[in-house]
Amino acid sequence: MKKTYFFAFMAIGFAALAQSPKARVEAQRTADNNEQLPARSSVTARYTGTETVVYSETFASGIPASWDNTGGLANGVADADSKWEYRGTTTTPGVVTGSRGGYAGTAATGQLAIQSPTAANGFVLFDSDFLDNAGIAGNFGNGIAAAAHVANLTSGVINLTGYTEVDLVFNQYYRRFAGPTGQGVPATYIDFSINGGTTWPYTVMLNSGIAVNSATTRTDVAAVPIPAAVAGQANMKFRFRFDGDYYFWQIDDVKIIETPKHRLEYIVNANGAPKVDILYGPASGSSKLGNMSLKQNRSITFDGNVVNTGSANQTNVKLQVKILNSTGAVVQTLNGPVKATLVSGDTADYNDLNTLATAWTPAAAGTYGVTFSVVTDSTVAVFPDTMAVTVTNDFNSLDYSRFDNSIGTPNIGLDGSAFAARHDFVNAERLFGVNVGISTLTTGGGIVEMSVFDSSAFDGYTTGFDQNAILAYVQHTITAADTAAGTIYFDLTDPTTGFPMLLPQGSYFFVFTMYSNNGAEVVRMRNDQSFENASGSAMMYLTTVGATAYNRWYTGYSSGRSFENPWIRSKTCESANPVACMGIGLTEEAMASITVAPVPANEFMNVAFGDADGQFELTLIDITGKVVKARNVVAEAGTSVPVYVGDLAAGMYTLNVQNGAQVKTLKVAIQ
């Protein structure tokens, strides 16, 4: 029987947002299903000028005989099995198989390392996951070569005489867990030698901006400036060094090119600031509502960090952010202050690249695409993904409608483990209920609870929430229908009047607690890794994980975003007219109302769900029948989801939108 409780409470101001410093816990290995997009990576920006290729290797004929792939170290001991693998058209496994590890996932979950543009003719891979566990999750150290691993893939001698400014460029797909000193660093390095491999004094670390349990994009292009002391040398060698444990690093299409004059790349700032960021008013630390009701409308600003990896200085550098509506029209362009000169090799960070002086305040409900560009006199660096901010009529959440991974039992413990999301309301709301996005890994039978607290009820990470200050509570047993829909809905209307409860201006925690019948059932919540959340706006309560009893709240994982923006959505409505709220609820599927715009699409396309509500799989297919993009989303009626298509060739495509057995097919033109 459902139980709902209501208690008296007082309005609070935003002073209650202040929390103690972030409490982080070390991430564990996870087989989370990457059901939408992997975390964004350091994709090479657009640059101008002709590319001069000095050296290239596609691995179409295997690892060249001039290269060295002898075994390295496994768990600190020399081991001939700790080496790179070649996947080719005649190898076993072949080019359709990437990592075989127990935490690598499956083709359906997007974790296979076979996504380079020319994977069909072969690629190389270091599969730390499989070497350690033989493809069995939890089978730590029982594979053919136990982690941690050190493995070098070394080129032959390359003559760079006459080339004083050159880059090493290659396609990669890397999923990170830990490097040589732990989770604080990645496992991916490039070493350079100028004496034919006798010594290796020059090292470049890659992928430091990729969070633990996250991955680069599957077609990432890495551009590594070759050190000045190495360029011009006649006996140069380079090597790919995997130094750490879990998960994999795939490499393809290696080349050395002369450094372009004009090139910028987005980077994670040295102090941990993300490549690009979104900041919400009205005060510093306000929760970032990727889905925000029109009643909670507020100012939004943006920032970013880039490094000048071109050989020429850049002049008149600025951040430019464009806000686009559902038809692709630009509704506002924000230009940041101009930095007169960015010297080759130097960085412009969020102090230089921001729109703090010019905010965007959404004026109407709708889904807005947000594109980041850094503009100079000579080039434009476009961030390789389009963000989405959805302004709704009836719900708020921290997520940006991206489903990057799932997390829950047993990752954070079993019975009593929990998640909490803080929603800051600048105006009063009526709370109709709460939707929680769940993964298809969730099984029926588990019991979950939703509790609502004023933020002042949080007494600290060890003490938790004051149960005497609870505002509302409801319990639910998960069904197969919940998993199929991708959501659990908690009805919080007053059981007597049917009216939603009033939430005055202030901050509120929505707490989702899980009971898995001592592990017999699985409960997994959707998580969005798009942006680091505002401090204290998302937390997780760990019980006992493995042999470790935690029993306290944490704000996330060290160096990781496996938990960042949980899909906890407060369904709200106009506080002055509660009767009008009675029609708000979950709508039935209406596949015929789904549309796509603009046509033709250029930088991105918007999938508008009309009257449809539920979990959908979006599959974009080219004219050869190849799936070029796949993405799972949970859509609310009346919202749209942008899909970035700026990296696709012009032409005709087919978009399949599937919900269970129902499929709507749309023709899409990209120009």
Domains observed in the chain: 5-28+402-582 (no CATH), 50-258 (2.60.120.200), 276-392 (2.60.40.10), 591-670 (2.60.40.3080)
Give the pLDDT score at 572.
Answer: 84
Q: How confident is the model at residue 241 (pLDDT cuts 50, 70, 90)?
A: very high
- Cα 460 to Cα 203, 466, 553, distances in angstroms: 43, 10, 8
7-21, 470-484, 507-521, 590-604: the lowest-pLDDT one: 7-21
| pLDDT score at 181 | 95
Instruction: Grade residue 3 by pLDDT with cuts at 50, 70 and 90.
Output: very low
Cα 335 to Cα 323, 413, 600: the distances in Å are: 12, 46, 27
The pLDDT tens digits of the residues spanning 275-298 come to 899 999 998 899 999 999 988 999
pLDDT of residue 584: 39
Instruction: Give the total residue count for the chain.
Output: 671
pTM above 0.85, yes or no: no
Q: Is the pLDDT of residue 514 over 70?
A: yes
Dihedral sign for Cα atoms in the order 632, 638, 644, 649: positive
> For residue 316, what pLDDT band results from cuts at 50, 70 and 90?
very high
Point out the least confidently predicted range of 26-40, 104-118, 306-320, 554-568: 26-40
pLDDT of residue 46: 42
Comparing 171-185, 379-393, 504-518, the range with the smallest average pLDDT is 379-393
Average pLDDT of the segment spanning 219-239: 94
Q: Tell me the percentage of the chain whose pLDDT exceeds 70.
A: 88
Q: What percent of the chain has pLDDT over 90?
A: 56
Higher pLDDT pick, 637 / 445: 445
pLDDT band at 545 (very low <50, low <70, confident <90, very high): very high
Structure tokens that stand for 125 in this block: 């891979």
Question: Strand runs (DSSP E) across 459-520, as ranges?
Answer: 470-477, 487-491, 501-503, 506-515
Q: What is the pLDDT of residues 172-227, one digit of tens each?
A: 999 999 999 999 999 999 999 999 999 999 999 999 988 898 888 888 889 999 99
- Give residue 583's pLDDT: 43
Q: What angle do CA 644, 251, 84 make, to 5 degrees?
A: 145
pLDDT confidence of residue 410: 92
Pick from 19-28, 148-157, 234-243: least confident = 19-28
Sequence-distant (≥ 6) Cβ neighbours of residue 213 within 8 angstroms: 27, 29, 30, 32, 175, 176, 177, 405, 557, 560, 561, 562
Work out the pLDDT band at 661, boundaries 50, 70, 90.
low
| Strand-pair category, 395-396 with 568-573 | antiparallel
Contact between 208 and 185 under an 8 Å Cβ cutoff? The reply is yes
User: What's the CA gap between 268 and 287, in Å, rounded?
Assistant: 21
What is the CB-side half-sphere exposure of residue 382 using CA atoms within 13 A? 15
598 preceded by a cis bond (ω within 30 of 0)? yes
The residue with greater pLDDT, 616 or 548, is 548
CA 667 to mean position of chain CA atoms: 28
For residue 147, what is the enclosing H or E element?
none
Higher local confidence (pLDDT), 269 or 595: 595
Q: Over the stretch 155-179, which tens digit does the pLDDT of each residue have? A: 999 999 999 999 999 999 999 999 9
- Residue-by-residue DSSP string for 164-205: -SEEEEEEEEEEEEEBTTBTTS-SEEEEEESSTTS---EEEE
What is the pLDDT confidence band of residue 638, given thresholds at 50, 70 and 90?
A: confident
User: What pLDDT score does 209 carry?
Assistant: 85
Tokens of 343: 């010297």
Average pLDDT across the chain, whole number: 86
Which residues, other chains included, contact 504 with Cβ-Cβ below 8 Å and sequence gap of 6+? 10, 11, 12, 425, 428
- Residue 585 binned pLDDT confidence (cut-offs 50, 70, 90): very low
User: Rounded distance, CA 430 to CA 432, Å?
Assistant: 6
Q: For residues 405 and 213, what is the distance between their CA atoms, to the nearest angstrom?
A: 9
Q: What band does 60 get if pLDDT is binned at 50, 70 and 90?
A: very high
Select from 243, 254, 77 the least CA-distant residue to 176.
Answer: 243
